[in-house]
Chain A
């Protein structure tokens, strides 16, 4: 199995939206390598003929009646927001640097 490089950990962190530090890159590279090598043993018995199980209780779509029920009001939904404005969530800019 491939060992995990520092650069790969940096890439994973970027994908996972984690602004990890340089020290963490060193720490995690070593640890992820050990963990991934250990868990890779699942490949030893997972042959092509075995169907995968994603869930212990096999379920397809679960439907319910389309009826109006009470739900959170605007004020409650915004109660935990880091910032709100005019009854909406206020977020930092979402467009790129050039915009």
Chain B
């Protein structure tokens, strides 16, 4: 029974809970038990909120018993990335600087989940301040990939994706600044979606790079991701960059896609994302996916987006620049860590000592790169040029979408690498986000759906699907059709 509950999809669990076949408390307890049995090895969770989860589950069960109308995912457990504030529940962002902080308010995403009756199991591990591609930058130790515990689960949302792959939760929330939802999804064999920028509120999402940060759904199936997408999306007056437009009909699109017909759909293969640096098994998995999409009726052709070759350098100027400004709020005065306040030191000295002690190496590196890129004398050559590249990337997307409904590529150049393998080589680490970054810079939606396992190492590979802004439903339709055609590809033994 427990085994069935942790292997079911969120949609299946919701149906069972809402029909009274099983209680949300039973479903929640099964996942809490699974976490207890496996998380010593995986380290997906930084905090498990047993009491809060069971209280929410009991409330849903009471509503179901009373015959009340409940939301489509009410009673289903979820793992929440520790970048979202949760009132009274620890929120560390993977950093020592916020260790022990209990936020006085809920993020909009957190509030929407609670109002929808979703059961928040706890907070998941992540690269500190979402800066990283492996979750090794967490101040609380790395998360391990359930497919191979010696390997990384991707990052920055490695905890959320590992929790899905380990069947600790059927749903999770991630945030994606340069690929932090899609890349972990790819290397753990799970689905990860970065919605259109502004589609999901950033209120209460601890900021890294505000013009790029975007929260989104993570799940094991495309339909589950769509159901979660519709719960968290929508205009929010608390976020001035929130888009005031209807939420794209992603659930209907996912259901339509399950019919398996993509006749007439035009798919562009981005030629920039192959060749040197790409693992052969990843490319073969991608080619197989292209063949399957053709069999489903899609028309597929190559498309060149030359500026995408400059997306990675542009990103590693824009994101650090914004982070150097955003992280100035960690000043040791209003919340978080304070170090060295012995009565003799000035505010500025205490601030510097606190930030030195509270931030890890990658965060410091990025703050200093951003400080450099924004300094007078270098601004035009670095930050200014990066913003121009951003324009070119947006133009390349627009041109490509004149001829294609969606674009595809591998999500990542390689499968999950070994923990420690790239830890001392920042540029090698940054390359994990090569294919995912353009969509962040353009603000367009993109997702990763598993394309099975690499034939050379047996590790999961992701297929990336990209769509124009506010056309999120297009990629869900393609992903659901592909997922049905692909079939099952096994799971990690844990």
Contact = CB atoms under 8 A, between A and B. Distances in A.
Interface of A: 1, 4, 9, 12-21, 24, 27-28, 31-32, 34-36, 38-47, 50-57, 59, 62, 64, 72, 76-77, 79-83, 89, 91-97
Given A35-B316, A50-B388, A93-B346, A82 B364 contact: no
Given A18-B367, A18-B368, A83-B338, A56 B317 contact: no
A15 B394 contact: no
Contacts of B353: 19
Nearest to A61: B240
Contact of B355 (A17, A40, A47): A17
A38 B333 contact: no
A64 B335 CA distance: 28
B104 A52 contact: no
A93 to B, nearest CB: 6
The 4 closest A-B pairs by CB, nearest first: A56-B443, A80-B335, A52-B387, A82-B338
14 contacts: A17-B352, A19-B349, A31-B426, A38-B427, A39-B317, A42-B313, A46-B385, A53-B390, A57-B198, A62-B240, A79-B102, A82-B341, A91-B347, A96-B346
Contact of A51 (B317, B334, B388): B388
Q: Is chain B's interface secondary structure helix, strand, loop, or mixed overall?
A: helix
Contacts of A24: 361, 364
A17 B443 CA distance: 31
B483 to A, nearest CB: 28
B104 A79 contact: yes
Given A57-B198, A80-B336, A91-B333, A35 B365 contact: yes
B356 A20 contact: yes
A80 B392 contact: no
B382 interface: yes
* Max chain A C-beta neighbours (<10 A), residue from B237, B364, B368, B443: B368
Contacts, number: 182
Given A19-B353, A28-B364, A59-B241, A36 B443 contact: no
B336 A18 contact: no
B310 A45 contact: yes
Given A51-B388, A59-B240, A89-B334, A44 B347 contact: no
A92 B347 contact: yes
B50 to A, nearest CB: 23
Given A16-B324, A40-B382, A82-B336, 7 more contacts: A1-B381, A13-B364, A16-B368, A32-B365, A43-B385, A50-B392, A93-B346
Contacts of A28: 364-365, 368
Interface string B39-68: 000000000000000000000000000000
Nearest to A8: B372
Nearest to B393: A53
Contacts of A42: 310, 313-314, 317, 382, 385-386, 388-389
Nearest to A4: B372
Nearest to A62: B240
Contact of A12 (B335, B346, B372, B388): B372
B364 A77 contact: no
B355 A19 contact: yes
A45 B372 contact: no
B403 interface: no
Given A12-B371, A42-B314, A82-B333, A57 B443 contact: yes
B382 A52 contact: no
B116 interface: no
A29 B241 CA distance: 36
Contacts of B218: none
Given A62-B240, A82-B332, A17 B348 contact: yes
B71 interface: no
Contacts of A40: 313, 381-382
A32 B368 contact: yes
Interface in B367-391: 367-369, 371-372, 375, 381-382, 384-391
A64 B101 CA distance: 31
A54 B381 contact: no
A39 B243 contact: no
Contacts of B368: 9, 12-13, 16, 18, 28, 32
Nearest to B353: A19
A53 B387 contact: yes
Contact of B341 (A13, A31, A92): A92
Contacts of A47: 388
A18 B388 contact: no
Given A35-B426, A45-B307, A80-B104, A57 B241 contact: yes
B30 to A, nearest CB: 34
A53 B372 CA distance: 20
Given A18-B364, A76-B104, A80-B101, A54 B335 contact: no
Contacts of B338: 82-83
Contacts of B392: 45, 50
Contacts of B324: 16
